[in-house]
Protein backbone atom coordinates (compact mmCIF):
# COMPACT_ATOMS: atom_id res chain seq x y z
CA UNK A 1 0.00 0.00 0.00
CA UNK A 2 1.07 3.53 -0.77
CA UNK A 3 1.26 6.22 1.89
CA UNK A 4 -1.95 7.82 3.14
CA UNK A 5 -3.64 9.83 0.43
CA UNK A 6 -3.50 13.61 0.73
CA UNK A 7 -7.21 13.73 0.13
CA UNK A 8 -9.94 11.19 0.55
CA UNK A 9 -13.55 12.17 -0.05
CA UNK A 10 -16.36 9.67 0.17
CA UNK A 11 -19.93 10.50 -0.69
CA UNK A 12 -19.37 14.18 0.03
CA UNK A 13 -22.42 16.36 -0.49
CA UNK A 14 -22.98 20.01 0.34
CA UNK A 15 -26.39 21.53 0.52
CA UNK A 16 -27.28 25.22 0.43
CA UNK A 17 -30.93 25.65 1.27
CA UNK A 18 -32.87 23.77 -1.34
CA UNK A 19 -29.99 23.02 -3.69
CA UNK A 20 -27.11 20.62 -3.50
CA UNK A 21 -23.86 22.19 -4.69
CA UNK A 22 -22.06 18.85 -4.32
CA UNK A 23 -23.71 15.49 -4.66
CA UNK A 24 -21.97 12.38 -3.45
CA UNK A 25 -18.44 13.20 -4.56
CA UNK A 26 -15.76 10.49 -4.24
CA UNK A 27 -12.19 11.57 -4.79
CA UNK A 28 -8.79 10.35 -3.72
CA UNK A 29 -5.61 12.31 -4.37
CA UNK A 30 -2.09 11.07 -3.61
CA UNK A 31 0.47 13.39 -1.98
CA UNK A 32 2.43 15.50 -4.44
CA UNK A 33 -0.11 15.18 -7.23
CA UNK A 34 -1.32 18.08 -9.35
CA UNK A 35 -5.03 17.72 -9.95
CA UNK A 36 -7.00 19.96 -12.29
CA UNK A 37 -10.73 20.52 -11.81
CA UNK A 38 -12.70 21.62 -14.82
CA UNK A 39 -16.37 22.06 -15.56
CA UNK A 40 -18.93 24.75 -16.32
CA UNK A 41 -20.01 27.48 -13.89
CA UNK A 42 -22.05 26.06 -11.07
CA UNK A 43 -20.46 22.61 -11.39
CA UNK A 44 -19.35 22.67 -7.75
CA UNK A 45 -15.62 23.26 -8.20
CA UNK A 46 -15.45 26.16 -5.75
CA UNK A 47 -17.60 24.37 -3.20
CA UNK A 48 -15.36 21.31 -3.47
CA UNK A 49 -12.21 23.36 -2.88
CA UNK A 50 -13.80 25.13 0.09
CA UNK A 51 -14.97 21.84 1.55
CA UNK A 52 -11.44 20.45 1.25
CA UNK A 53 -9.88 23.61 2.71
CA UNK A 54 -12.13 23.52 5.78
CA UNK A 55 -14.13 26.63 4.82
CA UNK A 56 -17.35 24.77 4.15
CA UNK A 57 -18.64 21.90 6.21
CA UNK A 58 -19.94 19.06 4.06
CA UNK A 59 -23.56 18.09 4.64
CA UNK A 60 -22.98 14.40 3.96
CA UNK A 61 -20.08 11.99 3.52
CA UNK A 62 -16.60 11.83 5.00
CA UNK A 63 -13.76 14.18 4.19
CA UNK A 64 -10.18 13.37 5.15
CA UNK A 65 -7.47 15.87 4.31
CA UNK A 66 -3.77 15.21 4.98
CA UNK A 67 -4.78 12.52 7.46
CA UNK A 68 -7.11 14.87 9.35
CA UNK A 69 -10.84 14.37 9.52
CA UNK A 70 -13.17 17.25 8.77
CA UNK A 71 -14.89 19.05 10.38
CA UNK A 72 -13.31 17.98 13.70
CA UNK A 73 -9.75 18.92 12.70
CA UNK A 74 -10.78 21.96 10.64
CA UNK A 75 -8.09 24.11 12.16
CA UNK A 76 -5.29 21.60 11.53
CA UNK A 77 -6.40 21.37 7.91
CA UNK A 78 -6.25 25.15 7.69
CA UNK A 79 -2.76 25.11 9.18
CA UNK A 80 -1.48 22.73 6.53
CA UNK A 81 -3.42 23.99 3.53
CA UNK A 82 -4.08 27.29 1.86
CA UNK A 83 -6.69 28.53 -0.59
CA UNK A 84 -6.61 31.02 -3.41
CA UNK A 85 -10.20 32.24 -3.42
CA UNK A 86 -11.84 33.25 -6.72
CA UNK A 87 -12.85 36.69 -5.46
CA UNK A 88 -9.66 37.64 -3.68
CA UNK A 89 -11.04 38.50 -0.23
CA UNK A 90 -8.90 41.64 -0.25
CA UNK A 91 -9.60 44.85 1.67
CA UNK A 92 -9.78 47.70 -0.81
CA UNK A 93 -9.09 50.49 1.71
CA UNK A 94 -5.82 48.83 2.70
CA UNK A 95 -2.64 48.88 0.66
CA UNK A 96 -1.19 45.74 -0.88
CA UNK A 97 1.42 45.56 1.87
CA UNK A 98 -1.17 46.05 4.59
CA UNK A 99 -3.29 43.25 3.16
CA UNK A 100 -0.31 40.91 3.33
CA UNK A 101 0.57 42.08 6.82
CA UNK A 102 -3.00 41.37 7.93
CA UNK A 103 -2.79 37.85 6.50
CA UNK A 104 0.42 37.17 8.45
CA UNK A 105 -0.96 38.54 11.71
CA UNK A 106 -4.10 36.47 11.27
CA UNK A 107 -1.92 33.40 10.92
CA UNK A 108 -0.34 34.30 14.25
CA UNK A 109 2.97 35.64 12.92
CA UNK A 110 4.43 39.12 13.24
CA UNK A 111 5.82 39.63 9.71
CA UNK A 112 9.04 41.41 8.84
CA UNK A 113 9.02 44.07 6.15
CA UNK A 114 11.56 42.01 4.21
CA UNK A 115 9.27 38.98 4.12
CA UNK A 116 6.37 41.03 2.80
CA UNK A 117 8.53 42.79 0.22
CA UNK A 118 9.82 39.43 -1.00
CA UNK A 119 6.24 38.20 -1.41
CA UNK A 120 5.34 41.32 -3.43
CA UNK A 121 8.45 40.97 -5.54
CA UNK A 122 7.50 37.41 -6.37
CA UNK A 123 4.34 38.62 -8.12
CA UNK A 124 5.83 41.84 -9.55
CA UNK A 125 3.89 44.23 -7.33
CA UNK A 126 6.67 45.97 -5.41
CA UNK A 127 5.89 49.42 -6.84
CA UNK A 128 2.19 49.14 -6.04
CA UNK A 129 2.81 47.80 -2.53
CA UNK A 130 1.98 51.08 -0.83
CA UNK A 131 -1.06 51.85 -2.95
CA UNK A 132 -4.57 51.02 -1.84
CA UNK A 133 -5.95 47.85 -3.37
CA UNK A 134 -9.09 49.73 -4.41
CA UNK A 135 -7.00 51.30 -7.16
CA UNK A 136 -5.59 47.99 -8.40
CA UNK A 137 -6.62 46.41 -11.68
CA UNK A 138 -8.25 42.99 -11.41
CA UNK A 139 -5.04 41.40 -12.62
CA UNK A 140 -3.06 43.15 -9.86
CA UNK A 141 -5.58 41.98 -7.27
CA UNK A 142 -5.15 38.43 -8.47
CA UNK A 143 -1.38 38.78 -8.19
CA UNK A 144 -1.72 40.11 -4.65
CA UNK A 145 -3.95 37.19 -3.71
CA UNK A 146 -1.32 34.83 -5.10
CA UNK A 147 1.38 36.58 -3.05
CA UNK A 148 -0.76 36.07 0.04
CA UNK A 149 -1.17 32.41 -0.86
CA UNK A 150 2.58 31.94 -0.95
CA UNK A 151 3.20 33.55 2.45
CA UNK A 152 2.65 30.29 4.24
CA UNK A 153 4.49 27.16 3.07
CA UNK A 154 1.95 24.32 3.22
CA UNK A 155 1.40 20.74 2.07
CA UNK A 156 -1.85 21.31 0.23
CA UNK A 157 -2.53 24.25 -2.09
CA UNK A 158 -6.05 24.89 -3.39
CA UNK A 159 -6.36 27.37 -6.26
CA UNK A 160 -9.68 28.60 -7.55
CA UNK A 161 -9.38 30.19 -10.99
CA UNK A 162 -5.75 31.31 -10.64
CA UNK A 163 -5.56 32.41 -14.29
CA UNK A 164 -8.68 34.53 -14.30
CA UNK A 165 -8.13 38.19 -15.32
CA UNK A 166 -4.36 37.75 -15.72
CA UNK A 167 -2.30 38.88 -18.71
CA UNK A 168 0.17 36.62 -20.53
CA UNK A 169 2.93 37.42 -18.04
CA UNK A 170 0.65 36.62 -15.12
CA UNK A 171 -0.37 33.32 -16.66
CA UNK A 172 3.27 32.35 -17.06
CA UNK A 173 3.86 33.34 -13.45
CA UNK A 174 1.03 31.09 -12.22
CA UNK A 175 2.38 28.18 -14.27
CA UNK A 176 5.86 28.72 -12.83
CA UNK A 177 4.52 28.93 -9.28
CA UNK A 178 2.48 25.75 -9.68
CA UNK A 179 5.58 24.03 -11.05
CA UNK A 180 7.61 25.13 -8.02
CA UNK A 181 4.93 24.07 -5.58
CA UNK A 182 4.92 20.68 -7.24
CA UNK A 183 8.69 20.51 -7.04
CA UNK A 184 8.51 21.16 -3.30
CA UNK A 185 6.28 18.11 -2.93
CA UNK A 186 3.03 19.93 -2.22
CA UNK A 187 -0.29 18.56 -3.39
CA UNK A 188 -2.02 21.07 -5.66
CA UNK A 189 -5.66 21.28 -6.71
CA UNK A 190 -6.46 23.83 -9.41
CA UNK A 191 -9.94 24.70 -10.60
CA UNK A 192 -9.85 26.54 -13.89
CA UNK A 193 -11.87 27.50 -16.90
CA UNK A 194 -8.69 28.01 -18.89
CA UNK A 195 -6.68 25.31 -20.56
CA UNK A 196 -3.24 26.60 -19.52
CA UNK A 197 0.03 24.75 -19.14
CA UNK A 198 -0.47 23.55 -15.56
CA UNK A 199 -3.84 22.11 -16.52
CA UNK A 200 -2.45 20.39 -19.59
CA UNK A 201 0.37 18.92 -17.55
CA UNK A 202 -1.69 17.90 -14.52
CA UNK A 203 -1.32 14.38 -13.16
CA UNK A 204 -5.04 14.03 -13.22
CA UNK A 205 -7.99 15.86 -14.66
CA UNK A 206 -11.30 15.81 -12.84
CA UNK A 207 -14.39 16.93 -14.74
CA UNK A 208 -17.35 18.15 -12.72
CA UNK A 209 -20.89 18.85 -13.72
CA UNK A 210 -23.91 19.78 -11.58
CA UNK A 211 -22.20 18.88 -8.33
CA UNK A 212 -20.89 15.51 -9.48
CA UNK A 213 -17.60 14.20 -10.81
CA UNK A 214 -18.47 12.99 -14.28
CA UNK A 215 -15.05 12.00 -15.63
CA UNK A 216 -11.49 11.54 -14.39
CA UNK A 217 -8.34 10.69 -16.31
CA UNK A 218 -5.24 12.38 -17.66
CA UNK A 219 -5.45 15.63 -19.62
CA UNK A 220 -4.16 13.69 -22.65
CA UNK A 221 -6.99 11.21 -22.46
CA UNK A 222 -9.46 14.07 -22.13
CA UNK A 223 -8.12 15.76 -25.26
CA UNK A 224 -8.39 12.49 -27.17
CA UNK A 225 -11.91 11.89 -25.90
CA UNK A 226 -12.87 15.41 -26.78
CA UNK A 227 -11.43 15.39 -30.27
CA UNK A 228 -12.18 11.76 -31.06
CA UNK A 229 -14.85 11.32 -33.73
CA UNK A 230 -16.63 8.59 -31.78
CA UNK A 231 -17.66 10.92 -28.99
CA UNK A 232 -20.00 13.60 -30.23
CA UNK A 233 -22.09 16.23 -28.51
CA UNK A 234 -21.78 15.62 -24.82
CA UNK A 235 -18.00 15.43 -24.79
CA UNK A 236 -17.71 18.57 -26.84
CA UNK A 237 -19.98 20.60 -24.65
CA UNK A 238 -17.99 19.61 -21.58
CA UNK A 239 -14.75 20.42 -23.33
CA UNK A 240 -16.09 23.80 -24.30
CA UNK A 241 -16.93 24.44 -20.71
CA UNK A 242 -13.36 23.59 -19.91
CA UNK A 243 -11.50 25.95 -22.17
CA UNK A 244 -13.84 28.82 -22.75
CA UNK A 245 -14.09 32.10 -20.94
CA UNK A 246 -12.17 33.47 -18.00
CA UNK A 247 -14.92 35.23 -16.13
CA UNK A 248 -13.21 34.46 -12.86
CA UNK A 249 -16.30 33.03 -11.26
CA UNK A 250 -16.00 29.40 -10.44
CA UNK A 251 -18.88 27.04 -9.75
Partner 1 sequence: MEVWLRTWAILWKDILIEVRTKGTFNAMAFFAALILFIFSFAIGPDFDLLRRIAAGLLWVGITFTGLLALARTYHSEELAGGLEALLLYPGEPRAIFLGKLVGNLAVLLLVEVILYPVAAVLFHMDLTGKILPVAGIAFLGTLGFSVIGTFYAALTLHLRAREVMLPLLVLPLLVPVLLGAVSATAALVDPAAAGGVAGWVRLLIAFDVLYFVVCTWTFPVLLER
Partner 2 sequence: MTELTASPRLKGWHRLLAFLAVATTVVGSIIGLFVVPPDAMQGNVQRLMYLHVPAAWLAFLAFFIVFVMAVLYLIQRDPRWDMIAAGSAEIGVLFTALTLILGSLWGKPIWGVWWTWDPRLTTTAILLVIYVGYLAVRSFAADPERRARWSAVVGIVGFADVPIVYLSVTWWRSLHQPPSSPMSMAPSMLWTLMLNVVAFTLLFGYLLVRKYQVAVAERALEDREAMR
Give me the DSSP letters along 212-234.
EEEEEE-HHHHHHHHH-SSS-HH
Considering beta carbons, is residue 15 or 200 the nearer one to partner 2?
A: 15
Contacts 24+ apart (CB under 8 A), 70-74: none
Q: Could you say which of partner 2, partner 1, none residue 226 binds, taking C-beta under 5 to 8 angstroms by partner kind?
A: none
Q: Which of 26, 41, 62, 107 binds partner 1 (CB under 8 A)?
A: 107
CB of 24 to partner 2, least distance (A): 11
Is 92 near partner 1 (CB under 8 A)?
yes
Q: Taking phi first (over 0 means left), then psi (-120 to 50 degrees means alpha), and beta for anything else, what does residue 78 get? A: alpha
Instruction: Residue 60: count other Cβ atoms within 10 Å of its Cβ.
Output: 15
CB of 116 to partner 2, least distance (A): 37
Between β-strands 212-217 and 81-84, what pairing exists: parallel, antiparallel or unpaired?
unpaired
Q: Which of 19, 41, 62, 247 binds partner 2 (CB under 8 A)?
A: 19
Q: Which of 1, 18, 93, 229 binds partner 1 (CB under 8 A)?
A: 93
Q: Which of 13, 39, 44, 85 binds partner 1 (CB under 8 A)?
A: 85
CA 125 to chain centre: 21
Is 141 near partner 1 (CB under 8 A)?
no
Residues that bind partner 2 (CB under 8 A): 15-20, 59-60
Amino acid sequence: MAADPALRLQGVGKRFGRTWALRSVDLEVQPGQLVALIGPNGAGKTTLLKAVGGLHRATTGTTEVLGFTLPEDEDMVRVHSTLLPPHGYLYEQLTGLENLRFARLMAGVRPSRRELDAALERVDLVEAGDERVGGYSSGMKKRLAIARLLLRPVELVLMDEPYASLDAGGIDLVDTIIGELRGSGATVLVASHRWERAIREADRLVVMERGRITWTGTPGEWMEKREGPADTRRGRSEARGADEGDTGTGG
